[in-house]
Chains A and B, each alone.
Chain A
């Protein structure tokens, strides 16, 4: 059973460009979460999605950031007009919809975004 997959693992962008981060949840998982790990700030929740629905985006910056989890395909975290402060590790996690494990999140390897 493959784990959570994220790509790319490393992404370099220049200021003003767009960054697209992809996350494929574990097989059988229908809930996806995005977290950001900034130096000196730790791991912070960004957004929680189910298929075609944003459930909780209370941790998302108000501008330039968006997320989706379409019916088919991976979840996408999109950052428009990146700035240097967006440089961080972005982690995706997934959990099943129901069952004994529904409150347990399994993490992917992360995408390290560097903004030049």
Chain B
């Protein structure tokens, strides 16, 4: 079955440290991949997306993600984390034609001062 896996339920980093959140997908063709962020009690904000082309995509708030077909991964990175980045992060994909998003289980990010 097609799925998205976020292996890290919870990650804690210190402010100013680098961050990498993992995402693996299981899908035959190249999916459309997304990262969303959700602050407590809020909706989901789109950070970045990958459809095709350059495998390194830049997003908002200084985030980037790299699509690696050989590893079926789409990991999210940020070189220097800010306290305001504390939130839950969701990786998601769609096949394009199906339209519906399939989400990973999310990674909760805690940022230490």
Q: How far is the CB of B4 from chain A (nearest CB, A)?
A: 10
- Which residue of A has the minimal Cβ distance to B96? A103
Q: How far is the CB of A56 from chain B (nearest CB, A)?
A: 6
Q: How far is the CB of A114 from chain B (nearest CB, A)?
A: 13
In the assembled complex, which residues on chain A have CB atoms less than 8 Å from the CB atom of B51? 103
Q: Interface code A40-52, partner B: CB below 8 Å = 1, 0 otherwise?
A: 0011110010000
Given contact pairs A42-B105, A42-B106, A43-B90, A107 touches B100 in the complex (Cβ within 8 A): no
Most chain B C-beta atoms within 10 Å of own C-beta, residue among A6, A43, A55, A95? A43
Chain A: interface residue count, which band? Answer: 20 to 34
In the assembled complex, which residues on chain A have CB atoms less than 8 Å from the CB atom of B63? none
**Chain A interface mostly helix, strand, loop or mixed?**
strand
In the assembled complex, which residues on chain B have CB atoms less than 8 Å from the CB atom of A55? 99
In the assembled complex, which residues on chain A have CB atoms less than 8 Å from the CB atom of B44? 43, 91, 93, 107
CB–CB B46/A109 < 8 A: no
CB–CB B100/A59 < 8 A: yes
Q: How far is the CB of A47 from chain B (nearest CB, A)?
A: 9
Q: Please pick, from A35, A45, A104, the residue contacting B46 in the complex, using a CB distance under 8 A.
A: A104
Q: Please pick, from A31, A44, A48, A109, the residue contacting B42 in the complex, using a CB distance under 8 A.
A: A109
CB–CB B100/A42 < 8 A: no
Complex Cα–Cα for A58 and B44 (A): 22
CB–CB B99/A91 < 8 A: no
Given contact pairs A42-B105, A91-B43, A107 touches B99 in the complex (Cβ within 8 A): no
Nearest first, the 5 closest Cβ-Cβ pairs linking A and B are: A45-B100, A107-B44, A43-B103, A109-B43, A107-B43
CB within 8 Å of A: which residues of B?
A: 32, 34, 36, 41-46, 49, 51, 90, 92, 94, 96, 98-106
CB within 8 Å of B: which residues of A?
A: 4, 6, 31, 33, 35, 42-45, 48, 55-56, 58-59, 91, 93, 95, 103-110, 112
